[in-house]
Amino acid sequence: MSPVPFGARLRAAMDARGPLCVGIDPHASLLADWGLSDDVAGLEAFSRTVVEALADRVAVLKPQSAFFERFGSRGIAVLEETVAAARQAGALVLMDAKRGDIGSTMAAYAATYLDPASPLFSDAVTVSPYLGFGSLAPAVDLARENGCGLFALALTSNPEGQEVQHAVRADGRTVAATVLGHLKAANADAASRGELGSYGAVVGATLGDLSSYDLATGGPLLAPGIGAQGATPADLPRVFGDAVRNVVPSVSRGVLRHGPDVAALRAAALGCADEVRTAVDEVRTPVERQGL
């Protein structure tokens, strides 16, 4: 049997648990705020607590690989345990690795996160398309084969990104619009069936009016920037328009600062998910609100 595509699993998770992704970002400062040491023991305690608190309640957990990699092989071992525990508890795991390369190297990156035989096998991974979207073909193909997803950087919230993403190509389209167009093509089959596609874009929630861009790619839109970066759930309809139905807001510090208390972490995450659901519901039609 073919695996259930990531897009379908994501839609089901968001419907059941609310449209929210919580990052697992063990910054040194956050470890200190939790009263943990900035070492592998602190990393392990932090990650275990987040998984215990949230993996059976939120739709998506997003470990930031860099904060595990900085501890070397022992940090990667903690990341492997975190991914496995989160998936076992029912969360979809989005590995935030932002990988991008060409040829056999890209294929190796894809196998690291999208091959079920890998100890870092995740439901989806973030990727960088800035060696050309075609360079991501090994990841696109393996994601399709194994029912996984991708989130390609498209319109990021960091100011430096504009010099690349807003650059205008010879055909008059911006680089970001080109990336969004490739994702729309990759999601065409799912869209023809009325399903959410598995190939998503990263689009910052802090960017304001994006009406000049076609965000209706047929796939999910990972939206960082809620909370500490200044955006709120109420901003989502203004930023994303009709595409807000496919937005997966990503929150890290806004939830994690409530730790290490498990109950407080859960309350913060569920409260944020409720706010997002309310904001999205305001732009749904009456028929959509009834789930028809």
Average pLDDT over residues 43-60: 98
Identify whether 260 is preceded by a cis peptide bond (ω within 30 of 0).
yes
Strands 247-251 and 124-127: unpaired
Please tell me which residue in 27, 48, 98, 253 is annotated as part of the active site.
Answer: 98
Question: In the structure, what pLDDT confidence band is assigned to residue 284 with cuts at 50, 70 and 90?
Answer: low
Average pLDDT over residues 209-229: 91
Is residue 62 annotated as a catalytic residue, yes or no?
no
Q: What's the number of CA atoms in the CB half-sphere (13 Å) around residue 231?
A: 25
Cα angle 138, 142, 144; round to 5: 120
Average pLDDT over residues 276-284: 83
* Predicted confidence (pLDDT) at residue 288 exceeds the cutoff of 70: no
Model confidence pLDDT, tens digit, residues 89-146: 999 999 999 999 999 999 999 999 999 999 999 999 999 999 999 999 999 999 999 9
Distance set, CA 93 to CA 25, 60, 217 (Å): 13, 6, 22
